[in-house]
Amino acid sequence: MTGATKIHILCDGNGLPRSFHLTAGQTHESAVLDDVFIAADQSLLDEDGERIAWPFALGGDKGYRADWIDEYLLDLGITAVIPSKENEDREARPVEFGKEMYRSRNVVERLIGWLKESRRIFSRYEKTAKNFGGMLTLAFLRQYLQYELA
């Protein structure tokens, strides 16, 4: 990968990463939502393939606001906590925006802020997507260890 890289990340309510996907910087946020979600779904299964957890809500910024995302999440039994865009009819949406729930979205913002404190991630020493993804995985392992030891 050359140029800018975008990290699409999904975390749980504690700010622990569940999955991520790397794309070129110009890729729209919603383009890989399905990939990120499928990868996270695999981490929610035990060794027998039984589901051990499932999200009841998924928050995102206005970049994730699309009818197909609302429908996708509703089909999975997940509440979309994504604000409407300024130029759209809020009454026409199949989901009601939960302002109180949306305040919890700062959890993922804090995770991104924590990642930016990691010099190797922030400075992008790794030039290939494979190596950069490996460094992200190591950073996430560090985050899990810090959480478990706290």
Tell me the C-alpha distance between 1 and 51, whole Å: 34
Question: In this structure, which amino acid lies at residue 141?
Answer: L
Say what the pLDDT of residue 3 is.
64
From the number of C-beta atoms within 10 Å of its C-beta (0-12, 13-18, 19+), residue 36 rates as middle
Q: What is the pLDDT along the chain (150 residues), one digit of tens a residue?
A: 456 788 889 998 889 999 999 998 888 888 898 898 888 887 777 888 888 778 888 898 888 888 899 999 999 888 999 998 888 887 788 888 888 889 888 999 999 899 888 877 877 778 888 888 999 999 999 888 988 877
Measured CA distances, 124 to 1, 129, 142, 143, 146 (Å): 11, 10, 18, 19, 23
Show the domain range for 80.
5-149
From the number of C-beta atoms within 10 Å of its C-beta (0-12, 13-18, 19+), residue 136 rates as buried
Report the DSSP pairing between strands 57-59 and 5-11.
Answer: unpaired
Report the DSSP pairing between strands 17-24 and 5-11.
Answer: antiparallel
Which two tokens mark 130? 């494979």
- List the CATH number of the domain containing 119: 3.30.420
Q: How many domains does the chain have?
A: 1
Say what the pLDDT of residue 107 is.
92
- First and final C-alpha spacing in the chain: 36
What values do phi and psi take at 24, rounded to 5?
Answer: -65, 150
141 three-class SS: helix
Helix pair angle (106-117, 129-149), 10° resolution: 110
